[in-house]
Structure formats: C-alpha cells, structure tokens
Amino acid sequence: MEFKEVISEYHKMIYHISLGYLRNKEDAEDMVQEVFVKYVKYVKSGKSFDDKTHEKYWIIRTTMNSCCNSLRKISKKKKSNDEKEYIAPNNTLFDKIQGLRDIYKNIIILYYFEEINMQEISKILEISEENARIRLKRAREILEKGLDIKE
C-alpha cells in the first residue's frame, strides 16, 4: 500500500485515539505525525505487515503506546519542575476516563470511541477475548462508582 493511502485510511483513527488520550487538538495532531514517522521507519527498516489487519493493529498499538509515553513525559516534567500538582475533580465522563489506569482506558477508547469489537480489541491488546470483556466490565464499574484508581 502506498503511503498516501495509509495516511488517508488511518489518519482519522489515529487522531481520534490520540485525542482520547491527550485531550488537546494540537497534541493529537502532533501524535498523528509521530505515528506516521514511526510507520515509515518501520517499513523502511525492511519489516512488513502480514496483512491489512496486522498493519491496522500495529498502528493502533503504536498510537496508544506513544500517547501513554507522551503523558508520562508530561507528568514527569511537571513533577521535576517542582510545581505543586493540582488535581482537578473529575466533572465529566471524559475526565473520569482520563483518570483510569491505562488497561481500562485502552478498552474504553477502543470499544466506545473507535467502535472496535471485542475480538479485534483482544488481538490489538494481545489478551484473551474474555480478559478484554472483564476489563471492559471493570472499567464500566469504576466509571459508575466515580473512582480514580491510577497506579
């Protein structure tokens, strides 16, 4: 597949996943570029995808991992600047989702925002389908109770 086709096919999906994690349009747009740079490096290194599904799952995993890494860097930067960290109360469902641990946030974003079915989610996250269902159930319970259980 040509790179232009890859961009047109996955740009919107990468943007939505990134926006779900980063909650900022500019950061999400930057993440789209970062993921495509990683894609080009992957392909130019001589590696290839088994099929279209493998390519899609790789892009989703790369997007999620890159977003999580970006959030960790931001968090470390805030702490290293010795700023007092103010944690605003979670007022919206979106804020509550952001407060979830990554294993639950991933499931919620993929299932509800990207509308990916459980079978595909289990392959993307490299877990069993039953484990994916359990994580989704727990994430829903946490959101219903309004708990914030970040590690």
pTM (two decimals): 0.75
Whole-number Å distance between alpha carbons of 136 and 77: 31
> What is the torsional sign of CA 150, 67, 114, 121?
negative
pLDDT given at position 147:
56
> Minimum mean pLDDT among 31-40, 57-66, 100-109, 141-150: which range?
141-150
Q: What local confidence, expressed as pLDDT, does residue 83 receive?
A: 47
pLDDT digits (tens, 9 = 90+) for 79-126: 555 444 434 444 577 778 878 888 999 999 899 888 899 999 999 999
- Can you read off the two tokens belonging to residue 66? 């890159």
Confidence band for 1, pLDDT divided at 50, 70 and 90: low
pLDDT in tens, 9-24: 999 999 999 988 888 8
pLDDT by residue (tens digit) across 54-86? 999 999 999 999 998 888 887 666 555 544 443
Cα distances (angstroms) measured from residue 128 to each of 66, 119, 123, 132, 135: 23, 8, 8, 6, 11
**54-66: burial string, b at 16+ Cβ within 10 Å, e else:** ebbbbbbebbbeb
What domains does the chain contain, in order, with CATH numbers?
Answer: 1-86 (1.10.1740), 89-151 (1.10.10.10)
